[in-house]
Chains A and B, each alone.
Chain A
């Protein structure tokens, strides 16, 4: 019995997803866990793993197609098995999908979920859309479509048309008017000195959030350093414990800093809050966001209820959400900016000595964690030596918090680091 590959429903608000890339083609042998295709919502991007072993018998949606959640995207089974019954929609003429070499990004405005919108010719005579070469991306638009677009003030410059040679026809403009979206074509011209790549939805989301943050808040950053000897000692101890087999949980410096931040937040609830304009929402619990770099861009998953977690639990949770982000299967609810009450962004491992993290609005503060640097210090007794200091950069929203409390909060984090004591018998 063949197994359908179904587009998952990723959160309440998600109704459709867009397939961004197919890694397998019809007829390929696939194993459970193989990445079949990538897809994205309006907020995040994901990979779809194969749910079964077998042959990829049929593909119902192409790259660029918008797929309703819970719709069958493909079928895996044994050779010769019937797949038609899995095909979404009615019995319209069948077409093979485009091959994976044709890259499409953006949103296909066609609310009609029928797959195979392209044309396939097997007589050697190709319609314009098929014979179009990659370099031939000159904008083509019918006079009628242009007239309508100008009337409506629409930018059609990156719309891919449905006519021959991707000519934009009036129906494409009408679709754009109706749905607000269209089939967007990246503009790449080979003989240019640069390439113009379409902005992914995740990138757009980040861009919007960052820009919005700097436009709509009064943020500033304080820098401070903390003696990191206790953290490093704990790190060394943890490595030894792992080597000796007495633990399996790896503790990173980031895990420890995050734990220290949670402890400090418990004492400064005004820093564990959202500024909502008319109100400031102070959270009773601590939902710690952590900036994670992924190939799709920056993502900030949150670890909910971090105040109750032991250091090792916190470390494991942080590791798990970061991994989910990188894999693309993070629960979208966890990456909303409203999901976290405070965020940590760690660039220390890259050698960054100081930076000004951008607030993840509506959160009122974010802590940037920087590199550890050995600094000369008075060790007492007129003895001077080098002590490793970890840099801390706290950005806060001056609308919500004043400089005094913010500094006190930063000092509390330093204190937690310098007196690092997880209060728990770990090893």
Chain B
């Protein structure tokens, strides 16, 4: 909502028509003779070879899957193999112009793309670079395997390396590109510019946008190609990614060299089917996929359908589209028409298509027709092509032999080290900045109006006379988060932030007020209302090497970014074999007052997913220290904030929140008040409810409560909690999350295991009701109240003399509520 753009009624209300231009469909028409200007004979033949290698690789996989044998080698591969037999020309054409600076992202059906991209990169790399790159990858283990007994050129060795690394990955071997942790649907090799393929349909649709942002914002060379299927065009993240990638602001608001469109091609590998659903004629309405570009922006995304059965047509299209990106007029939408001869997977009986249809496409098989063209045009001879096919079969046999040999290609030794994968979940590095250089800012930090205003605030909630400081003078929790973030913006040139209303407005809850003045557009900008893409783009930005803060305005909107938060953000560090880092902080604001869809604490959902660090501070001191740690680290962090306490001052840490930089280790609970009779462990803003309950326990019942603020859900050090229990023997766990499935239940269970002999009563969880959140006026019946904690203690832990409970914590009630599902 930038003020420099006035929206003039007279303009927007005037009658007019939207004119759509033409979208080219299969317009490539050059003859082979014309193309001889552009390719040497060797180029022509190499294109053929690349297609054959892909075909043979997948034929081999298909035989292994369906017959457990390839050319006398037996092997059983129980995992997936989504093959793209028939699509080789599209893959090779896509990759032809790309080098290692160009990143491709893929889908579950991307063996062809990674091989094509790898072969293209190998061709362009000088041999020395190529060799050192292989030698340095995981200690050169894969190289050693293919190098043994190899005689020939480094380039050919690199082809062996590429095929072996990919196949070993598919077969879950430690020598795979990702230590066997990615597998068929996630095999990738970043040194060749091959970024993650994605087993979630459309998963790359927003991640690749983040990668393009990374290139643009950090002025990195190269483009990004998002290879996804035609059916994924119906997925929300793809549409959100397209919207995110085509925002006007890149051209209207971003300045200087940052002005202009993203270097990104959405390349729909359009094989006409989504599993068995026909996108043309059945499950979609576009007829021709390229039509989708028409409505997105005035450039219609430079959309075009290209004949993906002709490698030269695809190469030509990519050449032209790359030029558009260089002119900063991206992004581009390509509809690369192809056909999958193989089934969706080896178990596919092709019940959704006729044999006649398959036969028709097989007659036009790109390898056969392209080979015939080369022979008929005199570029090469059939003998050469036959030799290529024979050599490729022999090569594939050799690679398969290496990849299935348990001695040559062992799996990760989880017997010797059962925690091996566990340790790969987080990279755990501490890095001031993810990129070198001077961070781009608009004004010096100490001239920032908010920084100046904060300087005059009281950093403890009481003044010198012990009186509460007024809100206007109080250093609040939102100020603490701001301090950590602006500090990092001045340290790490790669750091960027986006989300809804982040710029100008300063975030819906004023955490970012002051950042607009400090940062150019490309470091802080407003996103479309696309929670999926807000997180998905951050993932892409992070995995390419940048640090990013994405904001989800209300926790309730996390559902909109479900796939990104649950399937993508947590997985890629381990699935890459620790090649990728994920320095991504997702700020999630937990609401109140706004009813059922704006008041939910879903921290438990994120804590359940392995691979995320989950933080939920409740005090300014903790918020700043933990945000500092989150921004110093290289792991994905979901950072929960509570809207109810954005304005709270520091009540625990004396003499107040420090002005200098400090970090609080992620995963350490903090004892906010010591006590001896009962422990209360809280998550988030419920800390203050527990404090009130502790006061009642003390005043009315003479009991001294020890209050522990979890601060972090994952990781979590239970030792201080167990130590507290050794003292008290009793514990209540409280948070604003609905009690069923709350992370507190997990904590209670773990505490019971760890401290069973110290327990004098069962750990009791006090959470919100398993209801919709009612209106603000009725919230006291929904969110845990101090009295509920007292009631729970009275009924479940120790009867309190003279106490009349209001909330029924009886066993009968618990059983009844669970029976009824509420």
Residues of A within 8 A of B (CB): 92-95, 116-117, 119-123, 125-129, 131, 142-145, 147, 162-164, 167, 169-171
Tell me, in angstroms, the Cα distance from A76 to B791 when the chains sit together: 36
The reply to whether A121 and B729 contact each other, CB–CB distance below 8 Å, is no
The reply to whether A143 and B757 contact each other, CB–CB distance below 8 Å, is yes
A-contact bits for B767-796, CB 8 A (1 contact / 0 none): 000000000000000000000000100111
Closest A residue to B759 by beta carbon equals A143
Interface of B is mostly: loop
B interface residues, how many (CB within 8 angstroms): 26
Q: Smallest distance from the beta carbon of A129 to chain B beta carbons, Å? A: 6
Q: Smallest distance from the beta carbon of A161 to chain B beta carbons, Å? A: 10
The reply to whether A125 and B805 contact each other, CB–CB distance below 8 Å, is yes
Q: Which chain B positions have C-beta within 8 A of A163?
A: 760-761, 797-799
The reply to whether A142 and B801 contact each other, CB–CB distance below 8 Å, is no
Tell me, in angstroms, the Cα distance from A116 to B801 when the chains sit together: 9
Q: Is B756 an interface residue, CB under 8 A from the partner?
A: yes
The reply to whether B761 and A167 contact each other, CB–CB distance below 8 Å, is yes
The reply to whether B799 and A95 contact each other, CB–CB distance below 8 Å, is no
Name the contact of A144 in the complex, choosing from B760, B802, B804, B806 (C-beta under 8 A): B760
Q: Which chain B positions have C-beta within 8 A of A94?
A: 802
The reply to whether B729 and A128 contact each other, CB–CB distance below 8 Å, is no
Q: Which chain A positions have C-beta within 8 A of B801?
A: 92-93, 95, 116-117, 119
Tell me, in angstroms, the Cα distance from A309 to B247 when the chains sit together: 121
A-contact bits for B705-747, CB 8 A (1 contact / 0 none): 0000000000000000000000001000000000000000000
23 contacts between A and B (CB under 8 A): A95-B802, A117-B801, A119-B802, A119-B803, A121-B805, A122-B804, A123-B805, A125-B806, A127-B799, A128-B811, A129-B799, A131-B812, A143-B756, A143-B757, A144-B729, A144-B757, A144-B758, A144-B759, A147-B758, A163-B798, A169-B729, A169-B760, A170-B729
Q: Smallest distance from the beta carbon of A331 to chain B beta carbons, Å? A: 38
Tell me, in angstroms, the Cα distance from A164 to B760 when the chains sit together: 11
Interface of A is mostly: loop
Tell me, in angstroms, the Cα distance from A187 to B4 when the chains sit together: 84
Given A125-B810, A163-B797, A142-B760 contact (CB < 8 Å): yes
The reply to whether B760 and A170 contact each other, CB–CB distance below 8 Å, is yes
Residues of B within 8 A of A (CB): 729, 756-761, 791, 794-808, 810-812
Q: Smallest distance from the beta carbon of B596 to chain A beta carbons, Å? A: 27
Tell me, in angstroms, the Cα distance from A144 to B799 when the chains sit together: 17
Q: Given contacts A125-B806, A127-B799, A164-B799, could you give 11 more A-B pairs where the C-beta distance is less than 8 Å?
A: A93-B802, A119-B801, A121-B804, A123-B806, A125-B810, A127-B805, A128-B799, A144-B759, A163-B797, A163-B799, A170-B760
Tell me, in angstroms, the Cα distance from A123 to B805 when the chains sit together: 7
Q: Which chain A positions have C-beta within 8 A of B758?
A: 143-144, 147
Given A125-B806, A125-B808, A131-B810, A147-B800 contact (CB < 8 Å): no
Q: Which chain B positions have C-beta within 8 A of A164?
A: 761, 795-799
The reply to whether B805 and A169 contact each other, CB–CB distance below 8 Å, is no
The reply to whether A142 and B759 contact each other, CB–CB distance below 8 Å, is yes
Closest A residue to B809 by beta carbon equals A125
The reply to whether B759 and A127 contact each other, CB–CB distance below 8 Å, is no
Q: Smallest distance from the beta carbon of B803 to chain A beta carbons, Å? A: 7
Tell me, in angstroms, the Cα distance from A145 to B811 when the chains sit together: 22
The reply to whether B795 and A128 contact each other, CB–CB distance below 8 Å, is yes
Q: Smallest distance from the beta carbon of B45 to chain A beta carbons, Å? A: 76
The reply to whether A169 and B799 contact each other, CB–CB distance below 8 Å, is no
Q: Which chain A positions have C-beta within 8 A of B800?
A: 119
Closest B residue to A169 by beta carbon equals B760
Q: Which chain B positions have C-beta within 8 A of A122?
A: 804
Closest B residue to A126 by beta carbon equals B810
Tell me, in angstroms, the Cα distance from A121 to B803 when the chains sit together: 7
Q: Which chain A positions have C-beta within 8 A of B797?
A: 163-164
Q: Smallest distance from the beta carbon of B557 to chain A beta carbons, Å? A: 38
The reply to whether A169 and B757 contact each other, CB–CB distance below 8 Å, is no
Given A93-B802, A95-B802, A119-B802, A127-B761 contact (CB < 8 Å): no
Tell me, in angstroms, the Cα distance from A94 to B795 when the chains sit together: 19
Q: Which chain A positions have C-beta within 8 A of B803?
A: 119
Closest B residue to A150 by beta carbon equals B757
Q: Which chain B positions have C-beta within 8 A of A169?
A: 729, 760-761, 798
Tell me, in angstroms, the Cα distance from A252 to B33 when the chains sit together: 146
The reply to whether A142 and B796 contact each other, CB–CB distance below 8 Å, is no
The reply to whether B794 and A142 contact each other, CB–CB distance below 8 Å, is no
Tell me, in angstroms, the Cα distance from A64 to B17 when the chains sit together: 93
Tell me, in angstroms, the Cα distance from A169 to B803 when the chains sit together: 19
Closest A residue to B726 by beta carbon equals A144
Closest A residue to B800 by beta carbon equals A119
